[in-house]
Structure 1
Amino acid sequence: MSSPSLSVPAAHLLAAFASSSYVLSLYLSKQGRLSFLRTSTHSPEAKRWKGRDDPDVIRARLIAISISTLLSCIGVGVLLWTLDGRTGQILSNTLTTLGLNAPSPKLLLASLVTPALFLGPLYAQYLSEGLPLQRLWSIKHDVVPVFTTLQGLRNYVVAPISEEVVFRACVIAIYHLSGASRTKMIFWSPLWFGLAHLHHAYDTYNRMGRTTTALQQAILGTLFQLIYTTLFGIHCSYLFLRSSSLYPSILAHVFCNLMGVPQLGAEVRKFPTKKTHIISAYILGIILYVYTMRAWTKVDGGMYWSFIGH
């Protein structure tokens, strides 16, 4: 961009609005809120925690975040139209800005960067015979639940897609219109993504009994999640900017949700005779990540990262 179309303070406000709208949408409907429910008319005192995994909560929240995500995309389109004025190209401009154009085969390597980083955990899963086509892996138990259960749809389909669209594409698009540098976009966007997970502390605190210990666990767990999600957000922001496509970020999000947080200590304890091999796989994964993050994410012609003269 030759000159910014938005001021930086305005970009911060719009990014905050998009992020907070996503989180607040979870609590707009009565069904989506966490609460205590009576489980039996014969026992008025008997109650159960209606947490985030309650079917009614999941259904309500899936609908809410889908609508919120769509509205954020429309908001970016309106913003582009307002600043650019080319009404005939609004849909094309919006899809390009959000990195949602038709995927290119060139994006395949960019999508393999995250698995390269997880070489260590993948090797540990191989030792456990839990990788696809191994003895303990099956379509019935490892694939079907992803698409046929509410938790699977939330964790591996709707949440990764909607979060990447809002916290990566929409927020970065807003900062791009303010003339922010690539470095600032890489680090500003993940902060909103990390802060958006703070509301999980409320669930943890109540689920654990609203005690002092519960409060401590909620704070510690939330701080860890804030750090982890922010670091993950930096990774996905770089992928998005480097490739000018949201698909590698979405696939990275799905992959990380499937893998969970790496558990080096637990894996070494489970396979003590393979300790050196497991640690070596972790180190090799980091080395591969450093190399592939630049070598495999270069996609010419992207709007966010120019390779002319490189």
Structure 2
Amino acid sequence: MELLAIFDHSTCIFSILACILLTISYVASLYIWRTNLSRDHPSTIKRRFFSVSCMMLLAPFFMKYFLTKETLSKGELLEHLGLRTSGWIQATLLPLFLTAILFLGPLTMQFLSGIWKLYTKFFSTEPLYWLASWQDLVWLRNHIMAPLSEEWVFRACMMPLLLQCLKAEVAIFTGPLLFGTAHFHHMFEQMKSGYDFKTALMVSSFQFTYTSLFGAYSAYLFLRTGHFVAPLVAHIFCNHMGFPNFGEIPQFQPLQRILIICNFIIGFILWCLLLTPLTTPGIYDNRLYWET
């Protein structure tokens, strides 16, 4: 029993160290290119696209190396990565719907301001807005590459490692701390662009807080559904919406303000009430990560 305890303790240490190394490697891949150009410069974006693409290719092999035989015996490698065909439609639609409910307030603001009309252009005869977006490297980074690479590394490849030694309820809050910490690298870019140290630290600390909270939600979706696509669509939607700009509320008419504030509250309450039932593992045929 004592030897078994030592083995389990060692496995847990290696799993956590592997996750830390994945985090460091992901951030380091963004800075292997020596350049004085900003992060939004096309050259910088293209180079970072290549770097994180390499990380995405290597991460699953890295994960498999640190997975124990016992863990691998529970399912195929693709299943551990959340790549399954069973339940993928539900995993695409329900988490997206759930996340949209959470953003009911911001969505109301978009509707009242007329921004929602941009979405209808996708179905029009001239979807110029969306075509232009796909040609914009900054848009592609924020809406496609960043969510895809971050969810792949920090959820699909990292969560199976954490689950070797942590309960699911603990793992969903442990991994996101690394995810939030990884965003501190923006602090150096902010200082490079003119921010003083104190301001950059405050901005990065705020980023750490909300990215860690989102990371917990994303990890919860991954473990409950057993699908990589679930946190991915939620991440893309959240990046599209951005952090709610509460400062814009006073710009609306009094009755509209009341409606917006009510929908912020209603959206959050509905999200809390629907979070568990809409992520029931049985809906997604998830038998790997979370017991029904």
Q: TM bucket by the smaller chain?
A: 0.7 to 0.9
Residues 76 and 94 of structure 1 are in contact (CA less than 8 Å); yes or no, is this contact kept in structure 2? no
TM-score calculated relative to the size of structure 2: 0.88
The 1:6–1:105 alpha-carbon spacing in structure 2 relative to 1, beyond 3 Å, is farther
Name 2:4's counterpart in structure 1: none
Name 2:181's counterpart in structure 1: 195
Residues 106 and 299 of structure 1 are in contact (CA less than 8 Å); yes or no, is this contact kept in structure 2? no
| SS in structure 2 of the partner of residue 197 of structure 1 | helix
TM-score calculated relative to the size of structure 1: 0.83
Q: Structure 2 CA distance, aligned partners of 1:116 and 1:6?
A: 42
Residues 88 and 229 of structure 2 are in contact (CA less than 8 Å); yes or no, is this contact kept in structure 1? no
Q: Structure 1 CA distance, aligned partners of 2:14 and 2:238?
A: 32
Q: Structure 2 CA distance, aligned partners of 1:275 and 1:122?
A: 13
Residues 23 and 179 of structure 2 are in contact (CA less than 8 Å); yes or no, is this contact kept in structure 1? yes
Name 1:115's counterpart in structure 2: 100
Select the structure of larger CA radius of gyration: 1
Correspondent of 2:43 among 32, 35, 56 = 56
Q: Structure 1 CA distance, aligned partners of 2:60 and 2:196?
A: 37
Measured after TM superposition, the shift of residue 5 of structure 1 is 9.4
The 1:128–1:6 alpha-carbon spacing in structure 2 relative to 1, beyond 3 Å, is farther
Correspondent of 1:225 among 207, 219, 226 = 207
In structure 2, give the amino acid aligned to 1:83.
K
Unaligned runs of 5+ in 1: 36-49
The 1:96–1:158 alpha-carbon spacing in structure 2 relative to 1, beyond 3 Å, is same
Measured after TM superposition, the shift of residue 84 of structure 1 is 5.1
For the pair 1:68 / 2:55, whether they are aligned, the reply is: yes
Residues 5 and 177 of structure 1 are in contact (CA less than 8 Å); yes or no, is this contact kept in structure 2? no
Q: Structure 1 CA distance, aligned partners of 2:193 and 2:233?
A: 31
Measured after TM superposition, the shift of residue 98 of structure 1 is 1.1
Which range is displaced more, 217-226 or 145-154?
145-154
For the pair 1:139 / 2:124, whether they are aligned, the reply is: no
Measured after TM superposition, the shift of residue 264 of structure 1 is 2.3
Q: Structure 1 CA distance, aligned partners of 2:133 and 2:274?
A: 29
Highest RCO, 1 vs 2 (Cα 8 Å, sep ≥ 6)? 2
Residues 82 and 228 of structure 2 are in contact (CA less than 8 Å); yes or no, is this contact kept in structure 1? yes
Residues 205 and 215 of structure 1 are in contact (CA less than 8 Å); yes or no, is this contact kept in structure 2? yes
More helix by share: 2
Q: Structure 1 CA distance, aligned partners of 2:250 and 2:134?
A: 32
Structure 1 residue ranges, 4+ long, deviating more than 4 angstroms after superposition: 3-6
For the pair 1:16 / 2:20, whether they are aligned, the reply is: yes
For the pair 1:204 / 2:208, whether they are aligned, the reply is: no
Q: Deviations over 1:25-49 (max 9, x none)?
A: 111133xx4x2xxxxxxxxxxxxxx
Q: How does 1:127-276 map to 2 (within 5 A)?
A: 127-131=112-116, 132-133=119-120, 139-141=127-129, 143-178=130-165, 180-208=166-194, 214-276=196-258
The 1:4–1:248 alpha-carbon spacing in structure 2 relative to 1, beyond 3 Å, is farther
In structure 2, give the amino acid aligned to 1:155.
N
Residues 145 and 152 of structure 1 are in contact (CA less than 8 Å); yes or no, is this contact kept in structure 2? no
Name 1:42's counterpart in structure 2: none
Name 2:81's counterpart in structure 1: 98
Residues 12 and 164 of structure 2 are in contact (CA less than 8 Å); yes or no, is this contact kept in structure 1? no
Unaligned runs of 5+ in 2: 1-6
Q: Structure 1 CA distance, aligned partners of 2:190 and 2:254?
A: 33
In structure 2, give the amino acid aligned to 1:164.
E
Residues 116 and 288 of structure 1 are in contact (CA less than 8 Å); yes or no, is this contact kept in structure 2? yes
What is the Cα-based RMSD across aligned positions, in Å?
Answer: 2.3
The 1:11–1:77 alpha-carbon spacing in structure 2 relative to 1, beyond 3 Å, is closer
Measured after TM superposition, the shift of residue 85 of structure 1 is 10
Residues 71 and 164 of structure 2 are in contact (CA less than 8 Å); yes or no, is this contact kept in structure 1? no
Residues 95 and 233 of structure 2 are in contact (CA less than 8 Å); yes or no, is this contact kept in structure 1? no
